[in-house]
Amino acid sequence: MHAPSSSRLTPSGVLATARAYPFSTFLTVGLLYVALWLTWRIVDWAVIEATWQAGDRAGCNPEGACWAFILNRLPQFTFGFYPEAERWRAWIVLLAPPALLLLAMAPDFKGRRWIIAGGFIAYPVAALALLSGGSLGLSHVPSDQWGGLLLTMIVGIGAFVLSFPLAILLALARLSKLPALRWLTIGFIDFWRGMPLVAVLFMSVIMLPLFLPPGFEISRPGLALTGLTLYSSAYLAEVIRGGLQSVGRGQTEAALALSFGFWRTQTYIVMPQALRAVLPGIVNSVIALFKDTTYVMIVGLFDLLNIVTAALSDARWLGLATEGYVFVGVIYWLFCFVLSHVSSRLEAQQSRVVRQDQILTGSTQ
Amino acid sequence: MIGPRQRRAKRVAFIQQALVLLAVGLLAVLIARNTVINLQARGLASGFDFLWQEAGFKIAFALIPVDATSTYGRVFVAGLLNSLLIAALGIIAATLLGFLLGIARVSPSPPLRFLTRGYVELVRNLPLLLHLLLWQAVILRSLPTVKDAIGLGGIAFLSNRGLYLPMPLLGNQANLLLSALGAAAVMAAIAWILHRRARSHGEAPPLLARGLSAGSLLLLVLVLIGLDWQVPQLSGFDYRGGLKLMPEFVSLIAALTLYNAAFIAEIVRAGIQSVDKGQREAAAALGLSSRQILRLVIVPPALRVIVPPIANQYTHIIKASSLATVVGFPDLVNVFLGTSLNQTGRAVEIVAMTAAVYLVLCAAVALATEAFNRRVALVER
Amino acid sequence: MTAPTSIKVRSLSKWFGSWRALQGVSVDIEGGACTVLCGPSGSGKSTFLRCLNGLEEWQTGEIEIGGIAVGDQPRALTRLRRDVGMVFQSFNLFPHLSVLDNVTLAPRRLLHRRRKDAEEQAMRLLQRVGVARQADKLPAGLSGGQKQRVAIARALAMEPKVLLFDEPTSALDPESVKEVLDVMIELAKGGTTMVVVTHEMGFARRVASRVLFMDKGRIVETAEPEAFFTCPCSERAKSFLADIGPP
């Protein structure tokens, strides 16, 4: 099968091309038809025949989607069993990351460094304090009432924020000159990378309580978060290691010659370059991590996916699995799609910068 | 040559490493102590003797005979085999679909490119678990009941209770079957060696090699036909006989295949696009046919790019096979890390065994990839 | 003003595996003057230079800079490097920082200068080496000669007592070579102790107070530049000068 090249296409027109490549044309028309048909079916189901307001399943048009189910349950899907009067706290926690991110992306914003530091240190602590309450006049909300999108965000952001610093330390230790440290780290990283996340979560719920001193307890979300953190830190560490190895030896030598010590060399010279070099890889790890948060249903947590799954067995709304999963799918898909585009744009940008650099140095030598 | 500075540096490095090992050792001792105390407080026994004790629960699907009187050891093996079966089927199906999609991604037909790109973008940006639950919901809901099962050529049936396939009866034929399979394998191996030797000398493979490979194929076909196939038969409320695949199993394989095929498609696309256009044109200028170009010019370098990330994806499939637990299919994690652990309370032993299985499987994939890379590196030189 | 910093090297030997790169080098390098180190490639001159600030490990022998031994204890070594600036053949500018930040990074992070003070000093230095107009650019946007001058400014920002140059002009086109050499000539007049590994014999002849000629890991000849270039004593130096052409 060969492409009709444009030089052949222009003089004789579409019909002639169709005559010259009958199979290819047939395939094209067929596929176009399939695509159109699919689009029509989806639009028909999701929009035209859909029901938006109803008290139960019986009130929905069976020919179309029953979005009334989703709309009815939306507060629960978003916050789980978080008490209604306290939901403003959850709103703050949910909206803070996008707001911080937008601020950090604003051009020429001087406080970017502070936002990144705040996002990694202050936000998790503040969010946890705000959500669980028990101090500052806020009533205590036990963590088994957290759920839905809120829990997904807590687990996802929590695991990333905790695993990132751990991954940096692991990557440095992985490249250490001390064989004992290096081999221990390799063992640690390969262990977590070789384990299925399902088993990791099982293990963290079964084994972690055994490892802790007697009388010391962590809540179930805490256990799951620990497992997910260790798991994703191993993957992130390998990504960051690639970045560290991409920074030339000349950079370290120049820093040493300026009398930077090891940690300052890493902080000011090597890490900024390494992380920038593997930013696409880091974003891809975030996507994977976000998708992996769904696994917490295995240890009985009600994240977005699990709370929707649970709602499917509501007697008033039976048989609406498609609607429920499409709703969850749209949320995950939007997040992952946007991030993967960010990642591929970063990659394209980087290869362009590298090319420019080569042209410039090439022209001056 | 080692001078005084190196000696000092070595001493320092030794002390630093000793400190690292000491810290890790202390942590390990602390954890071990806590574990022992906690296990005693909960009244849990330890040791591997439970492997020879009766498990007392049934497994819905197993490749070896398992019943309520089987030992935990047998349950472990059955779970492991189920995990391997899921992984193997998932890998094969995802690879086939992935290559098809990957080639379609770079096809000259714009609608085909557009559709496959849409598929890839849609599928890989959704969590695998969502795929699985969606598939399970779809399969359970849209398939007919046993009574109205869809017949596939009268020998296989599909209903909302599962997929029923014919299965050979292994009774007194087992030995015959095994020896026939062994003979076929030996013949194929000899044929392969002869073939390779001839190729490395630049000669056509000898007639014997062709004869042997044809013979082994013939033997295989004979064995397949000669077997005593048992076709599932409707009796009462369910089909009897043959092989029954649970709907959980079918939806698991479907989810694993469709999800991972999207990733494999992207890997394949990147591999094909990594082959320089100039090389293709140079080969065409040499007068090679388009099939020869594909076989000699595009595939070898593309494979070099494709294999390492695909091996990574295989590791992912092996690990993701444990999602069987979520839909209730009895894989290793489900029957061993789940039910067996609940019943025996031997947390340390069972977790260690399960971890060891997955680590060994991942290490095997890594070693195979390494071997491939080494071979490719040799060819390049 | 304090006395200029001199360098004392005693029987310095270095092995790379079984190959001996430096064979017991002993030399006194005068403080406040410019010493040029030359010799054929592979003669060990760069290795020797990199030993001076401890970037390269060595096996036996001692080095003292301004009376302080170049030790192997990391903290002491880091402290000593504060007084020893270095300029590399491949510039090694920090690509993620602007020219100005390249120069201010070390004073701000290591000497804890305030940003404003550090930037004022940096602008003065950039003015001095003639790249002040490029202060806000990233290194990738600079020509080779500009990069090397920024690298010199970066080294100067720590106000070092000794400056080491490792073939600073080898990666440059002829036009840029002159820009960089002019800056170095200017510096040499200022009275910093300079040790320069270079093939620029014109520079050596004009600026150096002494020339050290190295071959096969040894210092074969130590001479005033005039004497070295008009009548080198050793056969090896003669053939080297003949190969490289008259300065």
Taking the CA of residue B14 and the nearest CA in chain C, the distance in Å comes to 15
Residues 6+ positions from B286 with CB-CB distance below 8 Å: none
Encode pLDDT of B304-343 as tens digits. 888 889 999 999 999 999 999 888 889 999 899 888 888 8
Structure tokens at B52: 């020879």
Q: Does the CB of A350 have a partner CB in chain C at under 8 Å? A: no
Across chain A, which has 365 residues, the per-10-residue mean pLDDT values are: 42 61 75 86 85 80 83 85 81 82 70 73 81 76 83 90 93 93 94 92 88 83 92 95 92 93 91 89 92 91 89 82 88 91 82 56 37
Closest partner residue to C140 (CB to CB) among A257, A272, A357 is A357
Q: Looking at this protein, which amino acid is placed at residue A344? A: S
Q: Output the CA–CA distances (angstroms, integers) from residue A62 to A179, B91, B141, B144, in the order listed.
A: 66, 38, 15, 19
pLDDT tens per residue across span B66-96: 887 888 888 899 999 999 999 999 999 999 9
Q: Which residue from C minimizes the CA distance to A254?
A: C92
Q: Which of A2, A9, A31, A203 to mutate to test the interface with B (most CBs of B within 10 A)?
A: A31
**Residues of chain C contacting B6 with CB distance shorter than 8 Å:** 57, 59
Interface touch B3/C60, C-beta < 8 Å? yes
Query: Which of C20, C59, C75 to mutate to test binding with chain B, by most B CBs within 10 Å of its CB?
Result: C59
pLDDT score, position A66: 84
Q: What is the rounded distance in angstroms from the CA atom of residue A145 to the CA atom of residue A238?
A: 35
> C15 to chain B, minimum CA–CA distance in Å?
6
What is the least distance, in Å, from the CA of C60 to any CA of chain B? Answer: 5
In three-state secondary structure terms, C72 is coil
Option in A254, A272, A360 nearest C92 (CB): A254
Interface test with C, best of B6, B7, B8, B10 (most C CBs within 10 A): B6
C239 touches chain A (CB under 8 A): no
8 Å CB contact between B111 and A35: yes
Taking the Cβ of residue C180 and every Cβ of chain A, the question of whether any pair is shorter than 8 Å is answered with no
C141 touches chain A (CB under 8 A): yes
Which residue of chain C comes nearest to B3, CA vs CA? C59
In the predicted model, is pLDDT for residue C1 greater than 50? no
- Which of the pair, B1 or B332, is modelled with greater confidence? B332
Res C157 pLDDT > 50:
yes
pLDDT in tens, C166-220: 999 988 888 889 989 999 999 988 888 999 999 888 899 988 999 999 999 999 9
Tokens linked to C58: 């060595």
CA distance linking residue A281 with residue B309, whole number of Å: 14
Task: Please list every residue in chain A whose beta carbon sits closer than 8 Å to the beta carbon of residue C131.
Answer: none
Predicted-complex ipTM score: 0.91
Give the gap in angstroms from C-alpha B352 to the nearest C-alpha of chain A.
10
Q: Do A210 and B125 touch (CB under 8 A)?
A: no
On chain A, the residues whose CB falls within 8 A of the CB of B111 are 27-28, 31-32, 35
Instruction: Please indicate whether, in this complex, the C-beta atoms of B5 and C20 are within 8 angstroms of each other.
Output: no
Q: Is B305 exposed, middle or buried (0-12, 13-18, 19+ CB in 10 A)?
A: middle
User: Per the CB < 8 Å rule, is A253 touching C92?
Assistant: yes
Tell me whether residue B47 is exposed, middle or buried, using C-beta atoms within 10 angstroms of its C-beta: 0 to 12, 13 to 18, 19 or more.
exposed
CB within 8 Å: B358 and A198: no
Chain segment C7-55, per-residue pLDDT in tens: 999 999 998 888 889 999 999 998 889 999 999 888 999 999 999 999 9
Query: pLDDT tier at B99 (50, 70, 90 boundaries)?
Result: very high
Round to the nearest angstrom and report the end-to-end CA distance of chain A. 47
Per-residue pLDDT at A19: 67
Which among B16, B112, B134 has CB closest to A325?
Answer: B134
CA A200/CA A98 separation, integer angstroms? 30
Instruction: Answer yes or no: is pLDDT of C93 > 80.
Output: yes
Cβ-defined contact of C92 to A273 (cutoff 8 Å): no
Closest Cα partner for C129 from C181, C175, C173?
C181
Number of CB pairs, chain A paired with chain C, less than 8 A apart: 78
Partners of A362 on chain C (C-beta within 8 Å) are: none
B351 and A291: CB-CB below 8 Å? Answer: no
pLDDT given at position B381: 43
Highest mean pLDDT range out of A70-74, A207-211, B171-175, B354-358? B354-358
Tell me if chain A has a CB within 8 Å of the CB of C86: yes
Q: Among partner residues A260, A360, A365, which is closest to C110 by beta-carbon distance?
A: A260
Residue among C94, C110, C143 whose CB faces A251 most closely: C94
* CB distance C196 to C21 below 8 Å: no
Point out the residue among B128, B325, B359 whose CB comes nearest to the CB of A191. B359
CA distance B185 to A124: 60
Contacts of C72 in chain B (CB under 8 A): 5, 8-9
Closest CA to B137 of C168, C67, A325: A325
- Give pLDDT, residue A363: 35
The answer to whether the CB of A308 falls within 8 A of the CB of A330 is no
pLDDT of residue A364: 34
pLDDT at C88: 93
Q: In what order do the strands lie in the sheet with C7-16?
A: C19-29, C7-16, C60-65, C68-69
Chains with 3+ CB–CB pairs under 8 A to B are A, C
Q: Among positive and negative, which fits the CA dihedral A21, A23, A24, A29?
A: positive
User: CB of C79 within 8 A of CB of C102?
Assistant: no
C138: contact with A, CB 8 A cutoff: no
C226 vs C224: CA distance, rounded Å: 6
Using the Cβ of A114 and the Cβ atoms of chain C, whether some distance falls under 8 Å is answered with no
Q: What is the pLDDT of residues B251-309, one digit of tens each?
A: 899 999 999 999 999 999 988 888 877 777 787 788 777 777 777 777 788 888 888 89
- Which residues in chain A have Cβ-Cβ distances shorter than 8 Å to B326? 198, 297-298
Mark yes or no for CB contact A364/C81 under 8 Å. no
Q: Looking at chain B, which residue has its C-alpha nearest residue A215?
A: B38
Q: Whole-angstrom Cα distance, residue B182 to residue B188? A: 10
Rounded distance, CA A314 to CA A302, Å?
15
Cβ–Cβ of B5/C57 closer than 8 Å?
Answer: yes
C-alpha distances in Å from residue A320, one per residue of A328, B138, B327: 13, 11, 18
What pLDDT shows up at residue A91?
A: 86
pLDDT of residue B378: 61
**Which residue among A250, A257, A268 sits closest to C81, beta carbon to beta carbon?**
A257
Q: What's the Cα-to-Cα distance from C56 to each of C8, C53, C69, C72, C197, rounded to whole Å?
A: 17, 8, 15, 11, 15
At A359, phi and psi to the nearest 5?
-65, -45
C76 touches chain A (CB under 8 A): no
The answer, for C155 touching chain A at a CB cutoff of 8 Å, is yes
Q: How far apart are CA C162 and CA C85, in angstroms?
A: 6
Which chain A residue is nearest to residue C107, measuring alpha carbons?
A: A258
Say whether residue C90 is in contact with chain A using an 8 A CB cutoff. Answer: yes
DSSP secondary structure letter of residue B337: I
Residues of C in contact with A258 (CB under 8 A): 81, 85, 105-106, 110, 154-155, 158
pLDDT tens digits, B150-170: 777 777 788 877 788 777 766
How many Cα atoms sit within 13 Å of B95 on the Cβ side?
17
Does an H or E element contain C29, and which? strand C19-29
C-alpha closest to that of C30 among C51, C4, C53 = C4
Q: How many alpha carbons lie under 13 Å from residue B208 in its C-beta half-sphere?
A: 11
Tell me whether residues C57 and B8 touch, CB distance under 8 A: no
List the alpha helices (DSSP H) in B201-240: 207-226
CB–CB of A261 and C106 under 8 A?
Answer: no
